[in-house]
Amino acid sequence: MRYQHVCVEVFSDTFPPHVVTSTQIEDQLAPVYERLGLPEGRLELMTGIRERRFFDPGTQPGAVSARTADKAVTASGIDRRYFGALIHGSVCRDQLEPATASSVHHALGLPSSALVLDVSNACIGLLNGITILANMIELGQLRAALVVGTEVGRNLVEGTIETLLNNPSLTRQDVKLAFASLTIGSGSAAVVLCDRKLSRTGNRLLGGAVRAKTNSHELCAGGVVPEKHGDDRPRMQTDSEALLHAGIGLADETWSETKRALNWSNSDVDKTFTHQVGRAHRKLLLERLRLAPEIDFSTFESLGNTGAVALPMAVSLGIKRGHLSAGDQVALLGIGSGLNAVMLGMQWQA
């Protein structure tokens, strides 16, 4: 993928109000730790995740997405009549139908001529949304567009804790498969894209590459199984070690193709943002791709794994904290279970 006419105008975010530490989660799991002889502190030690954040109980993704999207549209300074598409790209949605994007579109007051839809693809849904919209802008079908999403991780984490506590035959392997679920956090992110002629920033989206390794689709799977768990909260099982190594291999392939598409070498990359999984993933990913950790910006320590909004939230926070400078060439390195990868390059100006 190569783009000549696409700019990334705004990244925005909404952070949840409630902080839950890894220590607090382990305190709740104390009976399990004692019964299975698990060492205290292993959650933060193994993942590097000190805390994550949750929205209020009962929060619907669409309501938060509307606020995040409104901030992004307002910050862009682009008249709403120019927005020709809205994609809601998070794992979490308000319901199976209609699309959560519909309520967000209504709240924003965007044109009735806009394309409105949800895109769901594990942890890269928003990145997929960016590529869909960028393709349409490049073709001249859109002048401006928006992708947004909100992940609400409270139910998954609290449901997982309850399942572990109430399983009398629980084994260490059961805990291992549920471990990734305890790293999940919540958050919201939005990205405004527009035609280069409409842009005030000149932050160009240059292009990138996508790759799939779907023979690994069973390594991480989640959903709602009321008859098994007794409630409608989602649960997830993850073979974390196998997923880690399969994901790093796919990332290596995708990064090589991304560099070919952009005519980049590693020395052309000034800054990076990766999907925020945890310490081991970040270390192995950067080592495998031969990218310096000093140019990367991480948020997993305080936000946990926030799914499809993790990478764009990291970009938004990185911008606020001065991680990007004018002239930087920026790599967005996205990987999601399935396995699928999207990697994009930006030329940052403002």
How many Cβ atoms are within 10 Å of 90's Cβ, its own excluded?
30
Instruction: Give the active site residues.
Output: 97, 123
Range 142-164 burial, b when 16+ CB lie within 10 A, else e:
bbbbbbbbbbbbbbbbbbbbbbb
Using the Cα atoms of residue 323, residue 326, residue 327 and residue 330 in order, give the sign of their dihedral. positive
Cβ-based neighbour number of residue 211 at 10 Å: 19
Nearest CA-CA partner of 208 in 91, 345, 30, 15: 345
Query: Residue 209 to residues 36, 252, 253: CA-CA distances in angstroms?
Result: 44, 12, 10
SS3 85: strand
For residues 337 and 308, what is the distance between their CA atoms, to the nearest angstrom?
11
Of residues 299, 295, 247, the one with CA closest to residue 11: 299
Residues whose CB is less than 8 angstroms from the CB of residue 317 and which lie 6 or more positions away in sequence, other chains included: 13, 297, 299
Bridge-partner residues for 88, per DSSP? Answer: 118, 148
| Integer Cα distance of 234 and 300 in angstroms | 22
d(CA 336, CA 219): 11
